[in-house]
Amino acid sequence: MSDRFFVVTGGPGSGKTTLIDALAALGFRHMPEAGRAIIRDQRRIGGNALPWGDRAAFAELMLAWEMRSWSEALAHPGPVIFDRGVPDVIGYLDLCGLPVPEHVARAAKIFRYARTVFVAPPWREIFTGDAERTQDFAEAEATHAAMLRTYAALGYEPVPLPFATVNARAAAVAEHIASQFASATPGDSRSDHRDAFRRP
């Protein structure tokens, strides 16, 4: 487990990626979302591992992406923000009514993140679709519910983001992470990264 890896999850169109971009502007390292990149690549090669095609194959590609992101983040000091995590793959399978393979469940136990998980709730006022985000608002709400169930079942503590400006959301997340690092004690794995957290 890495208690310096913080996941932002939620349904599509909830401001999740916009928030992570704002946190990146504040100096936080971050790992990008799998879904959009996979969809772009599958379209480029004419593949069918897509949310509207072979959903199980799409989930496997997401799992590989998230495990690789987790491993790559180990090389970065200080807190790292993840645009979704390994548990999102389980949430996606749950949403689709597909079984969760044993290796996916095992991955969620091995590739752990900080207990606090930031969840962007469905927000109709900012919800928009595009070529890669084809879900409607009802699907966004269902995705949000699936992610809440999944993370809670895996022992995480979902914390809802406020319905606020992106800057206010970023400040709330940064403050929460800073408080966790400030409370680290000698011997706590977080204490080794407090200096890296202090940005100019």
pLDDT confidence of residue 178: 93
pLDDT confidence of residue 2: 85
Q: What are the structural domains of the chain?
A: 5-197 (3.40.50.300)
What are the Cα distances from residue 9, in Å, to 30, 73, 133, 199?
Answer: 13, 17, 15, 24
71/68 Cα distance (integer angstroms): 5
Q: What are phi and psi of 184, to 5 degrees?
A: -65, 140
pLDDT tens digits in sequence order for the chain, 200 residues long: 589 999 999 998 888 989 999 999 999 999 999 998 999 999 999 999 999 999 999 999 999 999 999 999 999 999 999 999 999 999 999 999 999 999 999 999 999 999 999 999 998 887 876 555 567 888 999 999 999 999 999 999 999 999 999 999 999 999 999 998 776 544 444 444 333 333 32
2/25 Cα distance (integer angstroms): 23
pLDDT confidence of residue 132: 57
182/128 Cα distance (integer angstroms): 37
pLDDT confidence of residue 133: 55
